[in-house]
Copies of this chain bind each other. A is one copy, B any other.
Amino acid sequence: MSVDPASLSYEDFVQGIEDRQRRRQLLFREGRPYFVLVSQQFSRADLEGLCDTATAIRRLDRHRDGVDFLRRILHGHRVMNLFAQPSTRTAESFIAAADKLGASTRLVSDMRTSSFAKGETVDDSVRTLSSFFDTIVVRHPDDDFAMRASWALARSGRPIPVVSAGSGKSQHVTQSLLDVYTLRYSFASRGGIDGKRIVLVGDVGRNRAARSLAYMMTKFDVHRLDIVCAKDHLPEGGLLEYISRHGIDVRIHERLAPALEKVGKEVDAVYMTRLQQEWDGDAGGTPDQKGKLGTNEDFVLHPEYAKYLRDDCVIMHPLPRINELPEPWESHPGFVVWRQVRNGMWMRSALLASIHGAADEIRARAARLSLV
């Protein structure tokens, strides 16, 4: 039954992860996540556990005793954040998450200064750098870098856990984990995520966060997913079929205003995203072209659309935002965007704690202190 990743070719490892049966054997060890690569790898029970751990950490962190307790969890442990694709906010979120558990952290972001530049293979580079660490967090423009690194480490003499912090255009697992956590938290007094109706707005095809969240929603009994997206930016790779197959009613809209006008009052959460212009050859995402940045009218949540939504509708955005979610929304009762940012840190702490088998201890401590 069990599969030893060390015995597989890279192609077989990738195929194994595609396969729902073998995926868990390849990515988990002793029931705990070891390689965190795709949103699909987590069961609903995994997600509930991660959310509970995140809440325990968040509350323990408010008191000096809790802070000291948490900083013992990964004391002496070293986490490398290998960010070939720069992303200050995600890197700082991971670093804060590890730091709160007492781990030592390093950010390696300039790949040109490593031996990658001297003609070394990716496998050698990752193995060498991993020698000084106990966990590696990777972000890379190549879709398969985190997977390749996991495979190379699995067959090395000293494997360590790998967490993807975003790979190319494909997925952004930890963003979807924090989104699930934020939704669950927001719906705590309304029966949780099950039965809810969610609207995803923007460049869903190229926005890793939106893609990963859509995958994650299939783990819950989400009632309906409305996607508001330009035709050119519809997700590829079978995402829509995947969601439908999991029993979620998916609808596509080409403009935001008419969609909200029709169904806004039934909507429980609106998840906004920005246009991913950095992937466009012509537009680019450089500050010099700031004037051109931002999405067009069809995908902006104008303040006057508040009338279409209920007051308890949750408003989310993975940030950064350009023009699609204007500032007046900050005073809307359901605006949880800044909470999402903090939740990212708590959820990443929870993930690291789970990987290293400390989740039970953390939740038990919080329970004993009546914090959860």
Contact = CB atoms under 8 A, between A and B. Distances in A.
Contacts of A341: 127-128, 131
Contacts of A106: 92, 95
Contacts of A114: 86, 88-89
B88 A113 contact: yes
A322 interface: yes
Contact of A319 (B71, B120, B321): B120
A89 B156 contact: no
A78 to B, nearest CB: 6
Given A120-B320, A131-B338, A76 B71 contact: yes
Interface in A137-175: 156-158
A12 to B, nearest CB: 18
A115 interface: yes
A88 B131 contact: no
Interface in A257-315: 274, 278, 285-287, 290, 293-294
Nearest to A276: B118
Given A129-B88, A129-B89, A338-B158, A319 B115 contact: yes
Nearest to A82: B88
A104 interface: yes
Nearest to A76: B67
Contacts of A109: 113
15 contacts: A64-B76, A86-B110, A86-B113, A86-B114, A88-B108, A92-B108, A95-B106, A117-B286, A117-B287, A118-B322, A119-B285, A119-B290, A120-B320, A127-B341, A128-B341
